Structure 1
Amino acid sequence: MGGASSRDQEAETSYCLENETVESSNSSFFTDEELAKLKSDYDTGGVEKVKTVVQQKVTELDNTELNVAVTGQSGAGKSSFINAMRGLRSVDEGAAEVGTVETTMEPTRYKHPNLPNVCFWDLPGIGSLEMPLNKYLKKMKFKKYDFVVIISACRFTENDSKLAKEIKRLGKNFYFVRSKIDNDLDSKRKGGGQFNEEEQLEKIRNDCVSKLQRTGIPSPSVFLISNFDLNLYDFSLLNKALEGDLTNIMKNMYILALPNLNSEIVEKKRKELRKRIWMLAILSGVIGVVPDVSLGCDTGIVIGGIVHFRQCLGLDDSSLQSLAKRAGKPVEDLKAVVTTPLVGGEITPDVINRLAWGAAAVTISAIELTVCFIPVIGSIFGVGSSFLMTYKLLSAALDDLTESAQKVVAAAFGTKNDPNQTSAQ
C-alpha cells in the first residue's frame, strides 16, 4: 500500500481534529474533558504525547477491577445467581457452592473465567443467627464493592430494606432481584386451573414493591429472574438498569463479562470491544513497522487484540465447552458453525498475514474513521501507515469473531430466546 501525500494527511488530520465532538464519551473510554486534552496534547506535543495518554488509558482498562456483591437471605439463590452470571453450572469447576442451607459464612470471591478483574462476591445470608444485621453491616465492608445485588426467593424483609439504606448511604447502587420465579410459576401451574402468566408476574413484582415501600424504600425497582434461564423474565431489564448506572469503563467490563445468552448481548460486546481498537491502532502507529514483519503493523498488538476479542465473545475452547454443557449440546455442534480461522488454534503472524489480504487494499476515509469510534485522532498516521493497517485488521477480526459468536449462540439456544421477552413462551 502506498502512503498518502502530505497534503492529504494534513487534510484528514485537520478534519478529524476539528470534529472530535462527533464522538462523545459514550463511544469511547475517554470523557469529553479527556478528549479535549487529547486534542490539546496532539497540538502541542504531537503523536508521542498522544501515545503516552492512550497507553495510560489502556493500562487503566487492564488494571481496573469490577467488584459485585451478591447478598440476601439464606437460601435465596445467591450462589446460583453468581454461577449463572459467570456462565457456569453448580457442578462445574470453580463454581460457587450451592446448598439448601447457608453455605457461605465469609465473603467469598469468584473471578470471571475469562476476565479475572471482574469479581462476584458471595456474601453470607443476612439476618441469620450467625450474622445479625448490625454485625453484618460492619463485617461485609460494602465500600469496596461497585454495586450490590440483593436477592430474595420469596419476599423482601425489613433487613433487606435496612441493608439497602446503608448501601445508599455509602454512595453505592443496589438492585433488588426476586429469584426462583420459574418455581413460583410451576407451582401455580401444578395447582390446576387457568392463570395468566403475565398477570402472575406482575402480581409477584407488585407484592415485592409494596413490601419494600412499607419498610421505607420509596420507589424500589424489583427484577424477576430465573437463575437457570437468564433469557427469561427481567434479566435484560436488570442489565439495562446496571448499564445506565455504571461509568464507561465499568459498563464495558460488566457487558464483556455477561454470558452469551442471545444475539443482543453478543452485539453489545462487539460495540464495547470496538472502543479499544483505535487506541491499539494508535500504539501500533507510534511503534511503527516491526522489523522483518511484512504486514506494516505491530503483529503483537494485533494478536493480543484478537485473543482478547475471542475470550470476551466466548469463542475460546473453555468457554465453548461451558456453553455446550449449559445448553445441553455437543460442543462439536457449536464449533461446527464457526466460520473464522481465528477460532480453534493459536493466532500467529501467518494467520494475520492471511487476514490482511482482505483488509490491506481497503482505503478508509477520515469520515469513516470518525464514525468508527476514533475520536480526536483520525488518520494522523497516513493511509499506508501501521495505524490504519492495525485498525483495519482488528476491525475485520472483530466482525468475523462476532459473526461466529452469533452463530454459536443460535446453535446453542436456537432462535426462540428473545432478549426482550418478559415471560416464558
Structure 2
Amino acid sequence: MAQSSNSSFFSEEELDKLKSDCKTDGLEAASLLIQKKLEELDNTEFNIAVTGESGSGKSTFINAMRGFQSDDEGAAKTGNTLTTTEPIGYKHPNLLYVYLWELPGIGTKHFPADKYMKKMELKRYDFFIIISQSRFTENDAKLVKEIKQLRKNFYFIRSKIDGDLNTFEMDGRKVNTAEELDKIRNYYVDNLNEAIASPTVFLISNFKVNQFDFPVLNKSLSDIIKNSEKEVPILSLPNTTLEIVEKKRKWLKKQIRVWATLSGAAAAIPVPGLSFSCNIRILVAGLIHCRNCLGLDVASLQRLAKMAGKPVEELKSVVKTPLVGEINEEFVKRMLLHTDFLGISVAEAAIDIIPIVGTIFGAGSSFYMTYKLLSNALDDLIENALRVVKVAFGTD
C-alpha cells in the first residue's frame, strides 16, 4: 500500500477515508481507524534469534544487549553447563515488542544438527545472530546455509575476544592487538565467503560493551531494524551511541503524530486556565512512552550505568528535565499551564500545520496541543539522553 509523502504512518487510502469519515460522521468515526493504528504500533514484534553452539556465550550476549548483569532479576541464565533446552524469549525491559530469543546450542546430544533447524522453527524469526567462541565449525556453516535458504539476514559474532588477548598476555607473548584481531576476523570472513559475499564479522566481549566491535554492532543492528518493515524495535536499543538516540528521535516523532491524531479524534477535556481542550490521558501515556524509549527512567539509567561502568549518580547528574519524575494527569496539567515549556499559543498552532492529517482538525484543537506538547517534550528528552550517552561512554 502506497505511503503518503505527507504522512509517515497513514497510507493515501487511509487518509482519504479519515477525511471522509470526519466530514460525514464526525471525528468519533475516524477515531476507530486511528486506534487501530496505535494497536498496530503496540503489537509490532521484532524477533531476533541468537544461536550457535553450546557455550558460545549466547546468554551473556543477550544480557549485555539488554543492559543486564547475570544476577539481575529477569536476566538470561548463564553457566558452563547446558542451560537452555528450548527457545526462550527475553523482552526488552521497557519496550515489549522486541524479543531476543536464546536458542539451544546446535549439535548437542539433545539438539543434533540434522534435526535442529526443524525443531527451532527458524522461519518464525526476523533476524539471526550466530555466535562462535573459537573456530568456524560445520554447525556454523549449516546455520548460515539454512538462514540464507530462508532469505533471512544474520550477523556472525565471535565472542570472548578478550579471552584470546588475555591468553597472549599470560603466555608472555608480545603481539600487535590490531593485527591479531584482523587475523581472527579474516579467518571467519574467509570461511563465510563460501556461503555469502562480503560477510561482516563482529569481534566482541560481552563484558566490555564499549570496546572492540560492540559499539559498531549496536549501530549496525539499529540500521537493520531501521530498514526493516517493522519500524518500532529501534526504540529498544540501549543508548550506547549518539546516533542511536537521533534515530530514536525520528521514530518517536512519527509516533507522536499518531498520538496527536488520536487525541484530536477522541473526547477532549477542558483545561482550567487555558482556552483549549486536551485529552490528558493520551498526553500522560505519550510522555511516559517517550521518556522510557529514551532510557531516562530510573531503571534504564541504572542498567546503562552498569554497562558503562559508571556510577548511576554520574549519569543522573546531567539529566535536567522534570520529565524524569512521576508523570500523571496533574503533572501534565501543570505543564500545559507552563507556557514557557509548552512554547505555543493557539495562533502559533495555526502556523505549524501538519499536512493532510492536521487540516482535519482546527488550529488550537486537542490535536495541535498534543502534537506541540509531545514534540517539545521530545526535544527536551533528546537533549538529556544525548548528555547521558556522552557521560556514560565519553562520546564527543
Normalising by the smaller structure, the TM-score range is 0.7 to 0.9
Deviation at 1:393, TM superposition (A): 0.5
Give the counterpart letter for 1:319 in structure 2: S
List per-residue Cα deviations over 1:275-305 (Å, max 9, x = no partner).
1011111111122531465562111111100
- Select which of 368, 376, 383 maps to 1:396: 376
For residue 132 of structure 1, what is the aligned residue in structure 2?
112
Deviation at 1:200, TM superposition (A): 2.7
Worse overlay, 173-182 or 300-309 = 173-182
For residue 282 of structure 2, what is the aligned residue in structure 1?
301
Paired residue secondary structure (2:89): strand
Give the counterpart letter for 1:303 in structure 2: V
**Structure 2 gap ranges (5+):** none
Paired residue secondary structure (1:378): helix
Distance 2:229 2:210 in 1: 22
Distance 2:5 2:259 in 1: 21
- 1:145 and 2:128 correspond: no
For residue 150 of structure 2, what is the aligned residue in structure 1?
170
- Select which of 1, 18, 21 maps to 2:5: 21
Distance 2:98 2:271 in 1: 38
Alignment RMSD (CA, Å): 2.8
Identity %: 52
Deviation at 1:61, TM superposition (A): 0.8
For residue 338 of structure 1, what is the aligned residue in structure 2?
319
- 1:323 and 2:307 correspond: no
Residues 157 and 212 in structure 1, CA contact (< 8 A), matched pair in contact too: no
List per-residue Cα deviations over 1:112-159 (Å, max 9, x = no partner).
111123221111111123321012112111122121111011222121
For residue 257 of structure 1, what is the aligned residue in structure 2?
236
Give the counterpart letter for 2:16 in structure 1: S
Give the counterpart letter for 1:361 in structure 2: I
Paired residue secondary structure (2:360): coil
Distance 2:271 2:19 in 1: 33
For residue 165 of structure 2, what is the aligned residue in structure 1?
185
Distance 1:204 1:22 in 2: 48
Distance 1:69 1:153 in 2: 17
Give the counterpart letter for 2:152 in structure 1: K
List per-residue Cα deviations over 1:224-253 (Å, max 9, x = no partner).
222123333334544454445447676533
Residues 284 and 386 in structure 1, CA contact (< 8 A), matched pair in contact too: yes
For residue 276 of structure 1, what is the aligned residue in structure 2?
255
Pairing 1:37-52 to 2, within 5 Å after superposition: 37-46=13-22, 48=27, 50-52=30-32
Give the counterpart letter for 1:182 in structure 2: D
Residues 263 and 366 in structure 2, CA contact (< 8 A), matched pair in contact too: yes
TM-score, length basis structure 2:
0.87
Give the counterpart letter for 2:17 in structure 1: D
- Select which of 53, 58, 74 maps to 1:78: 58
- Select which of 340, 344, 362 maps to 1:361: 344
Distance 1:264 1:248 in 2: 15
For residue 118 of structure 1, what is the aligned residue in structure 2?
98
Paired residue secondary structure (2:357): coil
Deviation at 1:193, TM superposition (A): 5.8
Distance 1:240 1:410 in 2: 16
Decide whether aligned partners of structure 1 residues 258 and 168 sit closer, same or farther in structure 2, where only a CA change above 3 A counts. Answer: same
Distance 1:364 1:189 in 2: 64
For residue 70 of structure 2, what is the aligned residue in structure 1?
90
Paired residue secondary structure (1:21): coil
Decide whether aligned partners of structure 1 residues 351 and 21 sit closer, same or farther in structure 2, where only a CA change above 3 A counts. Answer: closer
Decide whether aligned partners of structure 1 residues 351 and 297 sit closer, same or farther in structure 2, where only a CA change above 3 A counts. Answer: closer
Residues 107 and 140 in structure 1, CA contact (< 8 A), matched pair in contact too: yes
Distance 2:86 2:155 in 1: 21
List per-residue Cα deviations over 1:203-232 (Å, max 9, x = no partner).
211100112235x44543222222123333
- Select which of 44, 51, 60 maps to 1:64: 44
Worse overlay, 282-291 or 73-82 = 282-291
Distance 1:189 1:41 in 2: 68
Decide whether aligned partners of structure 1 residues 379 and 43 sit closer, same or farther in structure 2, where only a CA change above 3 A counts. Answer: closer
- 1:105 and 2:85 correspond: yes
TM-score, length basis structure 1:
0.81
Residues 337 and 408 in structure 1, CA contact (< 8 A), matched pair in contact too: yes
**Structure 1 gap ranges (5+):** 1-18, 419-425
List per-residue Cα deviations over 1:160-212 (Å, max 9, x = no partner).
11112212223332221111223223334555565443333222111001122
Distance 1:231 1:254 in 2: 21
Distance 2:125 2:141 in 1: 18
Give the counterpart letter for 1:320 in structure 2: L
Distance 1:38 1:251 in 2: 19
Give the counterpart letter for 2:344 in structure 1: A
